[in-house]
């Protein structure tokens, strides 16, 4: 019998590339871990991955005493923002890892609430993670901030796995990354055109548990000037996002955000 072939340097390199492509950078920040029995909020950043500004946003949620552990989960690969925006198959695999995290949490903490929050490219990971959940396993809500999915993306499968539905914030002023950027490079689901984070979702599921919140000048007082990264400002997080994580159900009153 021939002896087993010893792994070569090429084998090691290929194995390393697979880890880089599919495992991402495995960078994660968990805050308020003592609240894990009460709930879990998974925050999925954009294609630039874990950055100081989204860490600050997570710490803003902590100051609002959200009854949950806050988990900033970096799903990106270390190959740059262009790759993270366009690698649809790899990104769906990253979403399945998030889905497995939710499923495990539900098994270990059946009484806790689970929310998914995605910013920019992270909104696709949130939606795809919800879609991948098995029957009978749900999240309590999904919040999309400046989504880089296409306007026509069908959200019905994700809505079926979210008890309170989906809240999607969008801004017509977000025309750089979510206008020109996705026209040239494509949205997270591979459509060349303006993103839903600019023009809103226009899918058949719109209106069936999907709450769309367009930017208005009233949001200036909440620290949101209409730009792509303003969703992560501490003031906006405290004024508009934190209340959604404390509501038993979402409706027009929960989304009003004050006068």
pLDDT at 6: 46
Q: What is 138-192 written as a DSSP string?
A: -BSEEEEES--S-TT---HHHHTTBSS-EEEEE-TT--IIIIIIHHHH--TTS--
What six digits make up the tokens of 74?
Answer: 């970096």
In this prediction, residue 89 carries a pLDDT of: 95
For residue 162, the enclosing domain spans 25-256
Task: Indicate whether 13 belongs to any domain.
Answer: no
Q: Are 234 and 184 in contact (CB under 8 A)?
A: no
At 254 the pLDDT is 63
Residues β-bridged to residue 114: 40
pLDDT of residue 146: 98
Could you tell me which of 183, 211, 177 has the C-alpha nearest to residue 197?
177
Q: Give pLDDT, residue 248.
A: 73
What pLDDT score was predicted for residue 27? Answer: 76
Per-residue model confidence (pLDDT) at position 179:
94
Start-to-end C-alpha separation, the chain: 79
Task: Tell me if 14 is assigned to some domain.
Answer: no
Mean pLDDT by 10-residue block, N- to C-terminus, for the chain (259 residues)? 44 42 61 95 96 95 94 94 94 97 96 96 98 96 98 95 95 94 95 96 78 95 95 96 88 60
The residues, any chain, with a CB within 8 Å of residue 175's CB and separated by 6 or more, are 194, 198
> Reading across the β-sheet that carries 69-73, which strands appear in turn?
28-31, 69-73, 39-44, 113-119, 141-145, 166-170, 210-214
CA trace torsion 211, 60, 58, 113 (10° rounding): -60
The CATH number given to whatever domain includes residue 51 is: 3.40.50.1820
Instruction: Tell me what pLDDT residue 205 has.
Output: 63
DSSP state of 238: I
Reading the block at residue 51, the tokens are 């950055």
pTM for the predicted model, two decimal places: 0.88
pLDDT tens for residues 78-110? 999 999 999 999 999 999 999 999 999 999 999
* Alpha-carbon gap, residue 194 to 71, rounded angstroms: 29
Answer yes or no: is 16 within a domain: no
pLDDT at 257: 54
| pLDDT given for residue 255 in this prediction | 72
Q: Are strands 39-44 and 113-119 parallel, antiparallel or unpaired?
A: parallel
Instruction: Give the chain's domain count.
Output: 1
Q: How far is CA 179 from the centre of its chain?
A: 19
Residue 1 belongs to a domain: no
- Stated as kind and residue range, the H or E segment containing 12 is helix 9-23
What's the confidence (pLDDT) of residue 11? 42
Give me the helix-helix angle, 9-23 and 88-108, nearest 10°.
Answer: 70
Q: 71 lies in a domain?
A: yes
Residue 3 lies in a domain: no
* Assigned domain for 124 exists: yes
**Does a structural domain hold residue 7?**
no
Query: Is the separation of the CB atoms in 171 and 199 below 8 Å?
Result: no
């Amino acid at each position: 019998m021939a002896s087993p072939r010893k792994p070569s340097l090429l084998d090691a390199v290929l194995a390393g590339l697979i880890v880089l492509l599919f495992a991402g950078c495995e960078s994660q920040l968990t805050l308020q871990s003592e609240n894990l029995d009460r709930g879990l909020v998974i925050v999925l950043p954009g294609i630039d991955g874990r950055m100081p500004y989204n860490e600050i946003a997570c710490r803003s949620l902590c100051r609002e005493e959200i009854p949950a552990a806050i988990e900033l989960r970096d799903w990106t690969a270390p190959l740059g923002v262009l790759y993270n925006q366009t690698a649809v198959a790899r990104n769906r695999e990253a979403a399945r890892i998030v889905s497995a995290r939710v499923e495990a949490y539900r098994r270990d903490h059946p009484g806790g609430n689970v929310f998914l929050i995605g910013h920019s490219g992270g909104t696709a990971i949130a939606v795809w993670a919800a879609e991948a959940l098995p029957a009978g396993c749900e999240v309590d809500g999904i919040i999309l901030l400046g989504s880089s999915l296409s306007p026509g993306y069908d959200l019905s499968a994700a809505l079926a796995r979210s008890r309170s539905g989906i809240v999607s914030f969008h801004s017509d002023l977000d025309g750089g990354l979510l206008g020109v950027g996705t026209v040239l490079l494509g949205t997270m689901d591979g459509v060349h055109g303006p993103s839903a984070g600019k023009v809103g979702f226009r899918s058949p599921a719109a209106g069936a548990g999907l709450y769309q919140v367009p930017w208005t000048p009233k949001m200036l007082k909440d620290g949101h000037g209409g730009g792509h990264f303003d969703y992560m400002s501490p003031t906006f997080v405290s004024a508009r996002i934190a209340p959604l994580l404390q509501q038993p159900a979402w409706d027009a009153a929960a989304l009003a955000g004050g006068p």
